[in-house]
Amino acid sequence: MLLAIDVGNTNITIGVFEGETLKCTYRMTTKNDRTSDEFGIAIRMTLEWNGIKTEDIEAVCICTVVPKGLHSLSSGIKKYFKLNPIIIGPGIKTGIKTVTEDPKQIGADRIVDAAGAFELYGGPVLVLDFGTATTYDLISEDAAFLAGVTAPGIRISAKALWEDAAKLPEIAIEKPDSILAENTVTSMQAGLVFGQIGQTEYIVKRMIEESKYDKVKVVATGGLGRLISENTDCIDLYNPDLTLIGIQKIYEKQK
């Protein structure tokens, strides 16, 4: 079995693959101050609690955008799983060619999403990840990472509202029944959700127009991707496990 770990700015997502089949997923908050023991014990206990034996894990592959906690996480894997994890980064075969001005600036998570989307759906494909940041990445028909757009994620925008505006409350991020809001909470929800939908539709349309592609498959992932994809026609499909699948696809290329 493969243990795939995606370390994001907000959450760590863990997936267990048996071959190409994703057997189960788990999430934990991202905390950079965890020790190697805390990482190792938490992951091991989570798997064993769900009936997955430590000795059944044959390999570990990690994608992270948070370098600060990587040493502790890697050390925890080595100590509690007796495995040297594969870290997705420079020198790792991904199947994605980067043709941007500075390929080293492209985050590992975006390459992983691109690899997963291209392997599953082919190209050209436009990958939208609604995470801490909202990213839009265009992959060509020959697996080249052509361009990417980065925008504040919905939660970042929401946090800015209630932290920087004294009278605005902390709210749940969900779509109100109408954009014609009649109170403070629904007015904030309308601005955040409908604003994100509008941004998504415009950026997707503009990227496809400027790419000169006749047809591009648009794939969304990320925590709030379902909310947005269900409320716009510009997204073809939503795959919540795209990043983990990308990690699995990249791991297979190393073999």
Residues designated as active site: 109
Q: Which residue has the tokens 């997502």?
A: 13
Burial-class residue 211 by CB neighbours within 10 Å (0-12, 13-18, 19+): middle
| Residue 253, CA distances (Å) to 85, 94, 106, 229 in order | 15, 7, 20, 30
Q: What are φ and ψ of residue 25, in 5° steps?
A: -135, 150
**Hey, CA dihedral for 40, 41, 43, 48, is it positive or negative?**
positive
Give ∠ CA 144-131-153 in degrees, rounded to 5.
105
Q: How many CB atoms lie within 10 A of CB 180?
A: 9
Alpha-helical segments (H) within the chain:
36-49, 70-81, 108-121, 154-164, 184-211, 225-229, 242-254
Beta bridge partners of 11: 29
Q: State the Cα–Cα distance between residues 118 and 121, nearest whole angstrom.
A: 5
Alpha-helical segments (H) within 140-224:
154-164, 184-211
Q: State the Cα–Cα distance between residues 86 and 247, nearest whole angstrom.
A: 10
